[in-house]
Amino acid sequence: MRLIPAETLRMAVENVRSHKLRSALTILGIVIGVVVVVVVASILTGMRASMVASIEEYGTNNIYAFHLSTGPRLGPRDRAEYKRKPLVPDDGVAIREQAPAVADVANAAWAWSINRTIVYQGAKYNDGQLQGVSANYGSVTNLGLSEGRFFTDADDEHKRNVMVIGVNAAEALFPHKRDIAGTEVVMAGHIFRIVGVLEKRKSGFLGENEEDNAILIPFRTIRKMEPRVRNVMLVIRAQSGQVLTALDEVEDVLRRRRGLRARQDSDFDLSTADKFIEQFDRITAAIGLITIAISAVGLMVGGIGVMNIMLVSVTERTHEIGVRKALGAKRRDIVRQFLFEAITLTAMGGVLGLVVSALVSQVVMLLVPGLPATIPPWAVATGLIVSVGVGIASGVWPARKAAALDPVEALRYE
């Protein structure tokens, strides 16, 4: 009796259904392996898309110069970097004058020693990200305002106590107040006048954007409050379509100003949108390798389980195999029957793993709304292909063993 593929598949499904508990325990490793890969892939893919959108909103023509390495990375920063000489505003002036491919340069500085708590009529906001920036910072980084204005050159030059705040600060300090611009608040013992409120960015990494908590004051004002400010970043806007040229020119200017010789490595970091994405991709690649290793353990355990169950099935159905061979079934028919059964078992594990992955992704997005976890199509295809591949690999030996049985001996088997 020669089995056609449709009948073979039907028999495989019926055999799996007749041993529900055994089949479920057998494919558990397959399910775990698929869930790990698909869920991690969905989270990393969503995070990458979120990061790319956030970087594009800041401007793809921007170059970020800092004396320490920037961007996403695995592990702590090399401590040797802390010996580097910080950048200074004059470096930005030199870049603007000596780099034709550069359109503008803005300054940004952080002063961690300044008390950044803002007080307004008893309300306090402690989570602000205090930063001193030049008057052109808003235009260079594509900042939008929902209210008021940004700093002027006069504000910066005269070191005025004016402030632009993010949406989180505005909501915390003024939950019921409109027309916030012009309001006076207290920070670090000084009275500041809020002149503008930042508009919330459309995109943000993990649903948040550092500008939501921003407290921006003029660059010279922060240096007046903390003369020893050392963490100065230069935000450089390249001419349209000339990012790579501007990158080379900026590096040349800074190397000459810092007295570096031709064979010396640069003691500063230049980052662009493409570099941030490349760094993130390297991190996700490392995480992906770890994920694959963990998933491989689950798939290997599942594959061994499927092989053992199929060997048990061959033993249990020895008499049935003898009957079929006696009725004219060929070796390839027996091989196909048991191989289809193994593939059906692991494919069901793959499908179940994808269903569980979708549920886990929805739970993740529900519990952490800012964490994107959309399952990419390639992860679905990979999960199914791998699960079927495990079925083929683990089913070949049992299928060949079943096909090699002698029909006479198989008929005598009790």
pLDDT tens profile 312-325: 776 766 666 667 66
Name the range with the highest mean pLDDT among 7-16, 44-53, 138-147, 378-387: 138-147
Q: Is the pLDDT of residue 276 over 80?
A: no
Which residue did the predictor score with more confidence, 353 or 327?
353
Q: Is the pLDDT of residue 144 over 70?
A: yes
Name the phi and psi angles at 215, rounded to 5: -130, 100
Percentage of the residues of the chain whose pLDDT score is greater than 90:
22
CA distance 280 to 51: 9
Determine which of 29-38, 125-134, 241-250, 371-380 has the lowest per-residue pLDDT on average. Answer: 371-380
Give the pLDDT of residue 248. 92
Give the pLDDT of residue 165. 93
| Mean pLDDT (whole number) for 36-64 | 77
Which residue did the predictor score with more confidence, 226 or 28?
226
Closest listed residue to residue 108, CA positions, set 66, 77, 71: 66
CA distances from residue 273 to 57, 58, 60, 258, 259 in whole angstroms, order as listed = 10, 9, 6, 25, 27
CA distance 265 to 271: 16
Average pLDDT of the chain to the nearest whole number: 81
Give the pLDDT of residue 282. 78
Q: 3 pLDDT band (50/70/90 cuts)? A: very low
Do 209 and 200 contact (CB within 8 A), yes or no?
yes
Closest listed residue to residue 178, CA positions, set 215, 214, 147, 211: 147
| Mean pLDDT (whole number) for 360-386 | 79
CA distances from residue 337 to 3, 65, 309, 329, 410 in whole angstroms, order as listed = 8, 65, 15, 11, 17
Give the pLDDT of residue 42. 82
Nearest 5°: CA angle at 23, between 19 and 28?
160
Domain ranges of the chain: 5-53+280-412, 58-271
Q: 211 pLDDT band (50/70/90 cuts)? A: confident
Q: 160 pLDDT band (50/70/90 cuts)? A: very high
CA distances from residue 73 to 108, 202, 289, 366, 369 in whole angstroms, order as listed = 22, 25, 16, 27, 24
pLDDT tens profile 70-117: 765 555 667 777 788 889 999 999 999 999 999 999 999 988 888 889
* C-alpha neighbours within 13 Å on the C-beta side of residue 187: 32
| Mean pLDDT (whole number) for 262-272 | 86
pLDDT tens profile 372-383: 777 888 888 888
